[in-house]
Amino acid sequence: MSTNVNHAPLEYQTEHNQMSILGFWIFLAAEVVLFSTLFATYAVLFGRTADAPTPSELFELDIVLVMTFLLLTSSFTCGIAIHQMRHGSNKGLITWMIITLALGLGFLGFEVYEFIHYSHEGATLPSSAYWSSFYVLAGTHGLHVTLGIGWAILLLIQLFKKGITKVTSRKVFIISLYWHFLDVIWIFIFTSVYLIGMVV
Amino acid sequence: MNLDEFFVTGEPLIYAGMVSIVLVTSAMIFLLTYFKKWGWLWREWLTTVDHKKIGVMYILSALAMLFRGGVDALMMRVQLAFPDLNFLNAQHYNEIFTTHGTIMIIFMAMPFLIGLMNIIVPLQIGARDFAFPFVNALSFWSFFFGALLFNISFVIGGSPDAGWTSYTPLAGAAMNPGPGQNFYLLGLQLSGIGTLATGINLMVTILKMRAPGMKLFKMPIFSWSTLVTSFIIIFAFPILTVALALMTIDRIFGSQFFTLTGEGLPMMWANLFWMWGHPEVYIVILPAFGIFSEVIATFAKKRIFGYHAMVWSMILIAGLSFLVWVHHFFTMGAGAFVNSVFSVSTMLIAVPTGVKIFNWLGTLYKSKIQFTTPMMWALAFIPSFVIGGVTGVMLGMAAADYQFHNSYFLIAHFHYVLIAGTVFACFAGLEYWYPKMFGHKLNEKLGKLSFWLFVIGFHVTFLPQYFLGLDGMPRRLFDTAPEWFTLNFISTVGAFGMGAGFALFVFNIYYSYRTSQRETTGDSWDGRTLEWATPTPIPHYNFATLPTIRDIDAFVEMKKRNETTYDESKLKPIHMPNNSGQPFIMMALLFMASFALVFEWITLSVIFLVGVLIMMVIRSFDEDDGHHVEVEEIKETERSLRGL
């Protein structure tokens, strides 16, 4: 089908791989719709806090900034990991992937801490429509990060065992798409949930 | 929990249902054991990744669901035939209209069409299977177990009873405690996974695996309708996923999205539901349009009239389908401006749909029509669907809708579009492609008899309902008033006509299996598109070789040039995927997790979810790369099939 397959990066060199990558892009389109629906729900329910504290009373900029820094950096290190893969360095790929995962874990740790903190202050999932939508939106993103970390660990084991092959390079490339996507979603959560929630 | 809370008790009809389930299941187990067919069932069907077999399983399940949904419908019609009849009580009636609607849309119409797409689309575009055959099997089992979960609710735990739209707060935990509504939420969620995966799978298949020379605008219309439909699936189904998840979290974990407490917004559900729900009706109607286009072109013996207009109108319909959802609740009170906007966008859809109607008429114009059964369905579709469409435009006028809303006028409208559109197309498509799937045609005489019974029954059932609606009879009413007696009684008589038509259709499958002449050529109807170029039965790799496609009617062109899908000089080993039991096991575990969650047994549910995750880990380390069909084997197969 494609004439230039040999000049393409390793993960694009078989037709099957090309289809997998295209399929994953389409899956990400569906994920965009999924998160859009959650964002829309959040926007509609914004301000409906009932008797619970308002977001501006609870949100703190410093912790959210740290989380943002961790996740954005992890996206950058994930990019370096793919760069290493393109240069054929399995060791570099694994190292940078581990750094990426460590940053992701750090992000998750702060998110768990944040959720516990808010619930101690009286804002839980059942408190009000607003807090329901907050926890489900941020929680869905957090769940995606968690699944991504589990998935990446499986791929790291395969990289240790087999090195960079057509199959493993495709899998790593796809998870990198997923990881960058989660980063994009976080940017929207950071601005439309936290920044707006702090000032309104 | 007591056993009598677990099983539904106290209803003679449900006891009869339980007895028949036990009898049918035991009979199946007995037959499989007696004829030693368990291994065959596992190897040939439960583990298959072949798109043709998966398609057959989809269609069989859909026919079973058509039966279940049809029995629900007949029970409702019996209850409504006479005023003050106590055949069903109010609660049972609520459950039955809920399961009827849900089953017919989610577990009958969609799987029937997806089944036809499964079998036909790869053959039409010259592919050897789906882009992701393993995922395709996963999709099927997710649908199958989702349907199973939804269907067992009537004997275990109790059926959902808040309507197929399940509006909150009625469907929320406060007003609707118990597992019934959870069956709805989790059954749909489970099968929705498969639908989304199928959408992605079909899109990649069509974009990447077409035969050489087949540009997008040389693709048969049915494949085009599939591509457009998969686009709608990808952009609409995640909305349903979220809506169902939010209501599930509301009901099981106490959140406040759609509740009356905690400043929840019950109408948010209606918005989310219809933002998926309206595109959904185009998911079930566009493939139907595709089927009719194929059938009409074949039996009018002409190229489809206005091919490009056909394709563009589908694309336009798909785009507009996302912009009309508010017309389902004009009476919510969104205000005159909002209602006007959605009124106009709704009426706009009539334009591309009208274009399609005229194109079908244009194809028929001055052609020599061959009156086969599939063609009869297509011909009955055009006027019947126009009635449904025009009344739809009436409903689309926001001001007038205040009169029609939630009346039998609406019921008549959507049955006219969904039955005359989707159900007629399912029958037409199945009868049209039947010889390709099973190697013999369905008996034409019986087919026509079942056609007339069903079509006349259909009009007798639903035409009176327009007038019942105008007389003020509301939908979802379990007890009618004397002044509506005559029309209701006529409607019930018609419903039994449809039932008889369906029964005859199913009998025809058996009868034709016994008596029909076997196909030898593979080109049963003097077909126009690539699927008819394969021999019958289709070899599991579909195409030994592929010719270069030069025309929309690829096979017409091939017949002129004397080309086939078997060119011995071009044979190469063919790569095919291996069968796998993983999709079945993975979805069975997810079924158990969902079942536990229905009863809010959280720990058990988590245990099964861990099982699902373990299956995913196994899949990740799976190095199964499929196998090659060698040239010698292809030669042998093709020579015996083609009698060379």
Enter the ipTM: 0.95
Residues in chain A whose beta carbon is closer than 8 A to a beta carbon of chain B? 1, 15, 18-20, 22-23, 26-27, 29-31, 33-34, 37-38, 41, 44-45, 48-50, 125-133, 135-136, 150-151, 154-155, 158, 167
Query: What's the rounded mean pLDDT across residues A184-195?
Result: 96
Give the CA-trace dihedral at B336, B339, B342, B348, to 10 degrees. Answer: -70
- Residue B270, chain A, CB below 8 Å: the answer is no
B198-238: pLDDT as tens digits: 999 999 999 999 999 999 999 999 999 999 999 999 999 99
* Cβ pair B246:A49 closer than 8 A: no
Query: What's the rounded mean pLDDT across residues A72-80?
Result: 97
Q: Are B580 and B619 in contact (CB under 8 A)?
A: no
Neighbours of B7 (CB within 10 A): 14
Distance (Å) from the alpha carbon of B228 to chain A's nearest alpha carbon = 14
Residue B10, pLDDT above cutoff 80: no
Query: What's the rounded mean pLDDT across residues B330-349?
Result: 94
Residue B573 DSSP SS3: coil
Torsions phi, psi for B516 (to 5 deg): -70, 150
Residue B297, pLDDT above cutoff 90: yes
B419-442: pLDDT as tens digits: 999 999 999 999 999 999 999 999
Chain A residues within an 8 Å CB radius of B621: 154, 158
Q: Are B201 and B583 in contact (CB under 8 A)?
A: no
Residue B44, pLDDT above cutoff 70: yes
* Cβ pair A154:B203 closer than 8 A: no
B103-152: pLDDT as tens digits: 999 999 999 999 999 999 999 999 999 999 999 999 999 999 999 999 99
Residue B623, pLDDT above cutoff 90: no
Q: Are B120 and B32 in contact (CB under 8 A)?
A: no
pLDDT at B178: 87
Query: What's the rounded mean pLDDT across residues B294-318?
Result: 97
Could you tell me the pLDDT band of residue A6, with boundaries at 50, 70 and 90?
Answer: low
pLDDT at A3: 46
Q: How far apart are the first and last CA of chain B?
A: 67
Instruction: Name which of A31, A126, A151 is nearest B254 (Cβ-Cβ).
Output: A126
Query: What's the rounded mean pLDDT across residues B179-204?
Result: 97
Give the CA-trace dihedral at A29, A31, A36, A37, to 10 degrees. Answer: 120
Residues ≥6 apart with Cβ < 8 Å to B409: B391, B395, B465, B466, B468, B469, B470
Neighbours of B85 (CB within 10 A): 13
Q: B574-576 and B627-629: which strand pairing?
A: antiparallel
Give the CA-trace dihedral at B453, B454, B460, B461, to 10 degrees. Answer: 140
- Residue B548, chain A, CB below 8 Å: the answer is no
Average pLDDT, chain B: 95
Name all domains of chain B by residue range, CATH numbers in brackets: 37-642 (1.20.210.10)
* Cβ pair B255:A125 closer than 8 A: yes
Instruction: Name which of B239, B257, B620 is nearest A33 (Cβ-Cβ).
Output: B239
Distance (Å) from the alpha carbon of A65 to chain B's nearest alpha carbon = 28
For residues B337 and B334, give the distance between their C-alpha atoms in angstroms, rounded to a whole number. Answer: 8
Could you tell me the pLDDT band of residue A164, with boundaries at 50, 70 and 90?
Answer: very high
B465-512: pLDDT as tens digits: 999 999 999 999 999 999 999 999 999 999 999 999 999 999 999 999
Residue of chain B minimizing CA distance to A24: B200
Tokens of B588: 């069975």
Residue of chain A minimizing CA distance to B269: A41
- Residue B393, chain A, CB below 8 Å: the answer is no
Tokens of B272: 């989310």
pLDDT at B152: 94
Residue owning tokens 């299977």: B129
- Any idea which of A146-150, B17-21, B196-200 has the lowest mean pLDDT? B17-21
CATH class of A10-41+61-199: mainly alpha
pLDDT at B1: 66
Q: Hey, of B242, B269, B546, which one would you mutate to test binding to chain A, going by the most A CBs within 10 A of its CB?
A: B242
Q: Between these two residues, B288 and B6, which has the higher pLDDT value?
A: B288
Query: What's the rounded mean pLDDT across residues B575-584?
Result: 95
Could you tell me the pLDDT band of residue A5, with boundaries at 50, 70 and 90?
Answer: low
Query: What's the rounded mean pLDDT across residues A48-70?
Result: 94
Distance (Å) from the alpha carbon of A125 to chain B's nearest alpha carbon = 5
pLDDT at B17: 84
* Cβ pair B237:A30 closer than 8 A: yes
pLDDT at B614: 97
Residue type, B405: H
